[in-house]
Amino acid sequence: MDKRTQNHVVKAANSSDIIAYEINFRNTKIRSTWNYKRFRSFINIEEKQEEEEKEEEEEEEEEEEDEEGEDEEEEEEEEEEEEEEEEEDRDEEEEEQEKEKRTRRRAPCYLQRHEKNP
């Protein structure tokens, strides 16, 4: 008797379903239809519970994946914002450097002219 049927027999016996013979619904015929119906209803209830548990676990996994996906999206957005800020800072620094270069170029000319023509 495999573990699954063994568990069913033990649970059925514990739940006041009296089954006097070994139940292995794959290999042997069940003689008593009343016990069979009672046992099948017990198994059906158990299978429904197992299916519900599996569905709940799948839903929880999907929620966790969604949360992880949202976290990853937030991190990506933050990284993009940081990169944009860095690019803006670089652009501003380059503009300032260009202005300084222009003023350096102009200043000597202005000073030279001013020195020549006081």
Spatial separation of the C-alpha atoms in residues 107 and 68, rounded to whole Å: 58
- Within-domain flag for 117: no
Q: Is residue 33 included in any domain, yes or no?
A: yes
User: In this structure, are residues 46 and 11 in contact, taking their beta carbons and an 8 Å threshold?
Assistant: yes
Q: Looking at the domain assignment, is residue 75 inside a domain?
A: yes
Q: CA-to-CA distance for 92 and 12, rounded, in angstroms?
A: 78
Domain annotation covers residue 95 = no
Residue 42 backbone phi and psi in degrees, to 5: -65, -45
Query: Please, what is the angle between helix 33-116 and helix 3-14, to 10°?
Result: 110
Per the structure, the count of domains in the chain is 1
- Is 22 part of any domain? yes
Within a domain: 110: no
Q: What is the pLDDT of residues 23-73, one digit of tens each?
A: 555 445 555 555 666 677 777 788 888 999 999 999 999 888 888 777 788
Q: What would the pLDDT profile of 68-114 be if each residue is shown by its tens digit?
A: 777 788 888 889 999 999 999 999 999 988 888 777 666 566 666 65
Q: Which domain holds residue 70?
A: 3-84
Q: Is residue 53 part of a domain?
A: yes
Residue 97 belongs to a domain: no
